């Protein structure tokens, strides 16, 4: 147990040492830590990510509503999911025990595989657009701010989603 008191771990969606310690001992949000809650959050966040990603394809006004509101819910959902898994995916070794470290590492392996598949699909879509632009679906019709936001949220939240999927609900332990 080293580190400065309020050291921020990870550059983007980091956590502080005190946040992790608090989260590890928290009981207030145990209702979010059941298997059912976790699965519901994963399903909701996945659907919302897709919806926000494709929001630019909607008519202008609807696009802005879906994008903004969906993006906000996505952000809140992501924060709740992190709480649900006690920040395991974002914490460094020194704040986790050996099972949690193994779980976190496994979640990054799966996340990498999922993210690379998503990017492979997007690259293929871009390739089709470049090479067959005459007949292909025009990517610019649906690629917008919502798509960027969804991709960023996916990269930030996927490890926690995988942890929530792999870890049993705490009600079953």
Partner 1 sequence: MLHSMSRNQEEPLFNRIEAARNALGISRADLAKLTDVHYQTIGYIERGEYNPSLALALRIAKALDLEVSEIFSTKPFRKEAK
Contacting positions for partner 1 (CB under 8 A): 24, 86, 96-100, 102-103, 106, 165-168, 170, 173
Structure tokens at 114: 């999922």
Nearer to partner 1, 86 or 150 (CB): 86
- Please, which contacts does 105-113 make with residues 24 or more away whose CB atoms are closer than 8 Å? 106/162, 106/166, 107/159, 107/160, 107/162, 107/163, 107/166, 108/159, 108/162, 110/162, 110/166, 111/158, 111/159, 111/161, 111/162
90 and 160 Cβ atoms separated by less than 8 Å: yes
Q: Residue 144 CB, nearest distance to partner 1 (Å)?
A: 35
Backbone angles phi, psi at 105, to 5 degrees: -65, -40
Nearer to partner 1, 142 or 165 (CB): 165
Nearer to partner 1, 52 or 81 (CB): 81
Nearer to partner 1, 103 or 158 (CB): 103
38 and 165 Cβ atoms separated by less than 8 Å: yes
Is the C-alpha dihedral spanning 118, 124, 130, 132 positive or negative?
negative
Q: Residue 80 CB, nearest distance to partner 1 (Å)?
A: 19
Nearer to partner 1, 24 or 46 (CB): 24
Q: Residue 166 CB, nearest distance to partner 1 (Å)?
A: 5
Backbone angles phi, psi at 15, to 5 degrees: -130, 160
Q: Residue 98 CB, nearest distance to partner 1 (Å)?
A: 6
Q: Residue 24 CB, nearest distance to partner 1 (Å)?
A: 6
């Amino acid at each position: 147990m080293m580190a400065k008191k309020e050291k921020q771990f990870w550059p983007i969606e980091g956590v502080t040492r005190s946040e992790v310690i608090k989260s590890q001992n928290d009981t207030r949000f145990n209702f979010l830590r059941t298997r059912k809650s976790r699965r519901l959050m994963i399903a909701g966040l996945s659907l919302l990510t897709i919806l926000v990603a494709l929001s630019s394809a909607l008519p202008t006004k609807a696009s802005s509503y879906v994008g903004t509101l969906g993006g906000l819910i996505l952000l809140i959902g992501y924060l709740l999911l992190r709480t649900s898994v006690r920040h395991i995916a974002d914490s460094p070794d020194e704040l986790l025990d050996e099972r949690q470290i193994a779980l976190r590492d496994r979640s990054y392996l799966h996340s990498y595989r999922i993210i690379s598949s998503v990017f492979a699909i997007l690259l293929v879509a871009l390739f089709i657009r470049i090479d067959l632009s005459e007949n292909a679906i025009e990517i610019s019709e649906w690629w917008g701010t919502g798509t960027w936001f969804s991709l960023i949220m996916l990269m930030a939240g996927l490890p926690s989603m995988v942890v929530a999927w792999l870890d049993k609900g705490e009600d079953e332990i």
